[in-house]
Amino acid sequence: MLRTRQNLGFTLIEVIVVVSLISIILFFSMPRFQNYTLLDETKKVSRWIIGKVNILKDNAVLKKQLYILHASLDNNRLWSTSESMTPEELKNAEQKAYELPDKVKLLDIEYVGKGKVSFGEAEICFYKNGYSDKVFIHIEDNENKRLSFLIEPFLSKVKLFEHYEDFGN
């Protein structure tokens, strides 16, 4: 009877080839991964704004009450309130506001026909009849990349522009 030698492991050549291939893949993918992580804060803020606007529009219609998205341009914070909140709940909502990361700045809120609010506080209303104020929310990251969010009065989705867009364009 002939016995065949059983394969007990990997050869040194096989291990070197696999490690080399993994190294090459990482070498080419790391720059892309680093760029992705730099933009992660901007994407996080974008998701929050889009999600919050959708929730406020839905809640305004479902609960038949006015909802307001507040933007403190000086403090870089966003929070929402409704007309049914007590004064204590209003104060609590402001204290628990969403603070934008240090890498992202709230530039301004632009209303159609009313112009821009660049400092202080701005309010975006979501009415119980299913419409909202038509506004642009503008943000900028620490690399001067600007994003614009268009909130349409009768559309449910927020339109995102990867540049500074305004009603004059």
Residue 169 belongs to some domain of the structure: no
Residue 16 belongs to some domain of the structure: no
Please report the pLDDT score of residue 31 as a whole number. 66
pLDDT in tens, 105-130: 999 999 998 899 999 999 999 999 98
Longest dimension (CA), the chain: 95
Q: d(Cα 2, Cα 21) in Å, to the nearest integer?
A: 37
Please report the pLDDT score of residue 3 as a whole number. 55
CA nearest 112: which of 63, 165, 161, 47?
A: 165
Domain of 99, CATH number, reads 3.55.40.10
Residue 8 belongs to some domain of the structure: no
Residue 22 belongs to some domain of the structure: no
Please report the pLDDT score of residue 119 as a whole number. 93
Is 80 exceeded by the pLDDT of residue 147?
Answer: yes
For residues 122-144, average pLDDT: 94
Residue 55 belongs to some domain of the structure: yes
pTM for this entry: 0.75
For residues 78-87, average pLDDT: 95
For residues 60-85, average pLDDT: 95
Question: How high does pLDDT run on average in the chain?
Answer: 88
Please report the pLDDT score of residue 26 as a whole number. 80
Please report the pLDDT score of residue 55 as a whole number. 93
Residue 27 belongs to some domain of the structure: no
132 burial via Cβ count (<10 Å: 0-12, 13-18, 19+):
buried
Please report the pLDDT score of residue 56 as a whole number. 95
pLDDT in tens, 16-72: 999 999 888 887 776 665 555 445 788 899 999 999 999 999 999 999 999 999 999
Q: 44: domain range?
A: 39-161
Do strands 77-82 and 67-72 pair parallel, antiparallel, or not at all (unpaired)? antiparallel
Tell me how many domains the chain contains.
Answer: 1
Residue 21 belongs to some domain of the structure: no
Residue 10 belongs to some domain of the structure: no
